[in-house]
């Protein structure tokens, strides 16, 4: 997972990200705060698809996922191994 602060910086700062998502600059800033008031430097999942789409290739979905979520996705999307016929 890439920290939210790095993602925000890469996309032009708090205001630029807020404008892309139609939310306040303060909401984006809270992503970089530690819990309980913030999101522990993570981008909330509800914004992942929009950020990836509007980033123009600057952000990949895999960067937004926690390691646990990435593992679940990898298992869920893995192609089953083919067994050789005897």
Domain of residue 31 covers 4-77
| 3 neighbors 66 (Cβ within 8 angstroms) | no
The answer to whether the CB of 30 falls within 8 A of the CB of 39 is: yes
Q: Does residue 58 lie in a domain region? A: yes
pLDDT tens figures, 48-86: 999 999 999 999 999 999 888 888 988 888 887 777 776
Q: Which letter does DSSP use for residue 13 in this model?
A: -
- Residue 33 resides in a domain: yes
CATH number for the domain spanning 59: value is 1.10.260.40
pLDDT of 31 above 70: yes
Residue 67 lies in a domain: yes
Model pLDDT, residue 4: 95
Domain count, the chain: 1
Residue 3 confidence class, pLDDT cut points 50, 70, 90: very high
Q: What is the pLDDT of residue 67?
A: 85
pLDDT of residue 19: 97
């Amino acid at each position: 997972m890439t920290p939210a602060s790095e993602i925000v910086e890469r996309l032009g700062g708090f205001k630029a990200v807020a404008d892309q998502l139609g939310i306040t600059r303060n909401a984006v800033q809270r992503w970089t705060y530690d819990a309980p008031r913030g999101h522990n430097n993570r981008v909330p999942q509800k914004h992942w698809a929009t950020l990836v789409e509007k980033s123009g290739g600057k952000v990949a979905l895999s960067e937004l996922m926690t390691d646990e979520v990435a593992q679940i996705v990898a298992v869920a999307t893995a192609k089953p191994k083919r067994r050789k016929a005897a």
